[in-house]
Amino acid sequence: MKFFTIIIALWVATLGYAHPHLHWTPPGPGDVRGPCPMLNSLANHAYLPHDGKNIDVAITKKALLDALNIDEDLGQFLFDNAITTNPVPNATAYSLADLSRHNILEHDASFSRQDAHSGPQDVFDAKTFAETQSYWHGPVINVTMAAQARQARIRTSNATNPEYSLSPLGVGFSLGEAAAYLIILGDRENHTARKNVVEYLFENERLPTKLGWQRPEPLVTFVELQNVMGKLYNETDLDIRTLARRGMHG
């Protein structure tokens, strides 16, 4: 009987390791989080270190693959950009807090964070997110809605933030963030996502498994991400393309 008890305990431990999202816990004292709700979620689920610190390339790629089925090339690209936020020369790891350094990857006109001029960029802001949500009409978000929400945030940020800026890299990441929630959380064939699933992740920084979400299959690739980014760009008004590119107020 003791033998079978040990086997069951080992099986449960292995299950927990393979599926850490079953063991979500919020950040505690000493833990850090950043401006990205998805990466914060992965830390809360322990795919990334729960303290949000010392995240190297191997940890990054494994977390993105295990949790979100993001392939190695895209995982490497995301790490290569994330590491630039660490102010230490020749760093080999970053923390989620590093990602909040303004105008490197973190940018104005976030979907769910205040601009750096107005408040902390690493904390969910319900008022900012409410504007984004107001463009998600109905229970399913499509490319047009995602593009409209993004450009609304750019217009609002430009109109209210005297220090508004959006670098070319910020433009790319802004498009990528919108594409990512459609791909990772939604229907990859139709480029749609259930609104309640997307809202759950943003608001709770928790993978929406309780709403029926599952790890996407097959692998999420750079090509797929760029394809959806292109669709979002094509749905973007010309004035927003110019405004985003200039990164200037007024």
Report pLDDT digits (tens) over 27-44: 999 999 999 999 999 999
pTM above 0.85, yes or no: yes
Instruction: Note the pLDDT of residue 168.
Output: 85
Q: How many domains does the chain have?
A: 1
Answer for the pair 19, 180: CB distance below 8 angstroms, yes or no: no
Instruction: Note the pLDDT of residue 7.
Output: 37
Query: Could you check whether the bond before residue 37 is cis, i.e. omega within 30 degrees of 0?
Result: no
- Please choose, from the candidates 59, 117, 107, the residue with its C-alpha nearest in 3D space to the C-alpha of residue 85: 107
Instruction: Note the pLDDT of residue 225.
Output: 97
- Please choose, from the candidates 143, 150, 100, 98, the residue with its C-alpha nearest in 3D space to the C-alpha of residue 123: 100
The position carrying tokens 């990205």 is: 36
Instruction: Note the pLDDT of residue 237.
Output: 82
Domain that holds residue 107: 2-246
Q: Long-range contacts: 236-245, Cβ < 8 Å, 24+? A: 236/147, 236/150, 236/151, 237/151, 240/151, 240/154, 240/155, 243/154, 243/155, 243/158, 243/166, 244/154, 244/166, 244/171, 244/174, 245/168, 245/171
What does DSSP say about strands 55-56 and 93-94: parallel, antiparallel, or unpaired?
A: antiparallel
Instruction: Note the pLDDT of residue 114.
Output: 97
Instruction: Note the pLDDT of residue 21.
Output: 54
DSSP 3-state assignment of 242?
helix
If one counts every other C-beta atom within 10 angstroms of the C-beta of residue 63, the result is 22
Q: What is the DSSP letter of 205?
A: -
> Which helix (DSSP H) or strand (DSSP E) does residue 94 occupy?
strand 93-94
The DSSP bridge partners found for residue 234 are: none
Q: How far apart are CA 132 and CA 112, in angstroms?
A: 8
Rounded to whole angstroms, the maximal C-alpha distance in the chain is 74
Q: How far apart are CA 231 and CA 234, in angstroms?
A: 5
Residues of the chain where predicted confidence (pLDDT) is lower than 50: 1-18, 20, 247-250
CATH of the domain at 66: 1.10.489.10
CB half-sphere exposure, 37, CA atoms < 13 A: 24
Instruction: Note the pLDDT of residue 167.
Output: 85
Instruction: Note the pLDDT of residue 238.
Output: 67
